[in-house]
Amino acid sequence: MSDPNATQKQNNKHENSNEDMNTLAIRSRFFLPPGASVLMPGLLLTAVISAIALHTGAKITYVTPLIAAMGMGMILRNAFIIPPAYKDGVFFSMKQILRFAVALLGIRITFTKISSLGWEGIVIAIVPLVLTLLLTVAVGRALKVFSASSMLIGTGTAICGASAILTAGAIIRSRDENIIIAISSITVFGTISMLLYPLFYNSGLLPMSELQYGYWAGASIHEVAQVVTASFAGGEMSGETGILVKLTRVAALIPVALLLSYLVNRGVVSHGDSEEQGRVSFPYFLLGFLAMVVFNSLGFFTDKAVRWIEFFDMFLLTMAMAGMGLETDFRQFRTVGMRPLVLGVISTTFITVFSLVLVLWLIK
């Protein structure tokens, strides 16, 4: 009589042998070291999704490449079985490629652009950001939303949408489902804002000038792409103003992320919902972000180089979002509940109304 355990061991040995042969085949074909060859299947998958998402985002007005990539990854993850060989590359896309992409975000910013806004523009960009973060954390505590989830929703709403959430999530080591919930929340409300702002402005329902409209859109809408779409709907002046204000908010990612790292290590913000424990390491990739801002401000890059780096950066960010989607199991959402969604509504409403009041007061 055959031993079932022995048979199972033989099958496992056979499967491992096949997997080793596949790895060797990839390594010999691409001349890759062992560590890199393990990453190739997952990296190729996220790269293909990123390419498709970038094409989709260019064709569909209200779907950004980041969201398209996350959506495709989630569909693949939940409709099909992703082979284990892809896992390492997908995880690498979510973590390491994300950090590099965040560093490259600095290419969009120069100190000259920020200073051109004047003190009024700086106030309009920064004050609603800070107050939105504080309010979101406070209301999240009242709603009994986990502090890390509140911080993710707050950073996404206040700073720059999915990019800020991914950065904060990497610092506090939040669970993937909490990151996805936060991204979904700010995506929904950011898209609603992107559609309603031009409607309010062009219909004359709000007594504001083209310049004021640009400040408002840049100070309150979540994603950079959403700000571009909404602000240019009011005219060339409002579009350029909206982008400058928004990029000032993006620049605030550096001090906010450093502060967040400090608060986590001090125990003020908990990351106990993660499987990784211990002290949070210094987010060194933000130094890369700052270096890109400095180099760009000094005119180190040509205009053509800036455009190519921006495109490459968007490709990498989209790969990270694809990896996030591929790691998302819909069954994880059953325990989340409605409270994060309510928190997203409150956070978005606050930054929308407060920034509008501030713009009408400071910009004449």
User: How large is the average pLDDT for residues 89-118?
Assistant: 81
- Supply the pLDDT for residue 349: 94
Highest-scoring range by mean pLDDT, 35-49, 151-165, 206-220: 206-220
User: Is the pTM value of this prediction over 0.75?
Assistant: no
- Supply the pLDDT for residue 346: 94
Percent of the chain scoring above 70 in pLDDT: 80
Per-residue burial over 58-70, b if 16 or more Cβ lie within 10 Å, else e, is eeeeebbbbbbbb
pLDDT digits (tens, 9 = 90+) for 104-155: 878 877 888 778 888 899 999 999 999 999 999 999 999 988 877 888 999 9
Q: Where are the domains of the chain?
A: 33-362
- Supply the pLDDT for residue 40: 84
CB atoms within 10 A of CB 306: 15
- Supply the pLDDT for residue 14: 45
Residue 26, pLDDT > 50, answer no
pLDDT digits (tens, 9 = 90+) for 271-326: 545 444 445 555 677 788 888 889 988 989 888 998 999 889 889 988 988 887 78
- Supply the pLDDT for residue 8: 47
What ranges in the chain are assigned the alpha helix state H? 4-30, 34-59, 65-79, 87-92, 98-104, 111-115, 118-142, 147-155, 162-172, 176-203, 210-220, 224-232, 236-251, 253-266, 285-297, 303-326, 339-362
pLDDT digits (tens, 9 = 90+) for 239-277: 878 888 988 888 888 888 888 887 777 766 665 454 444
CB 47 within 8 A of CB 94: no
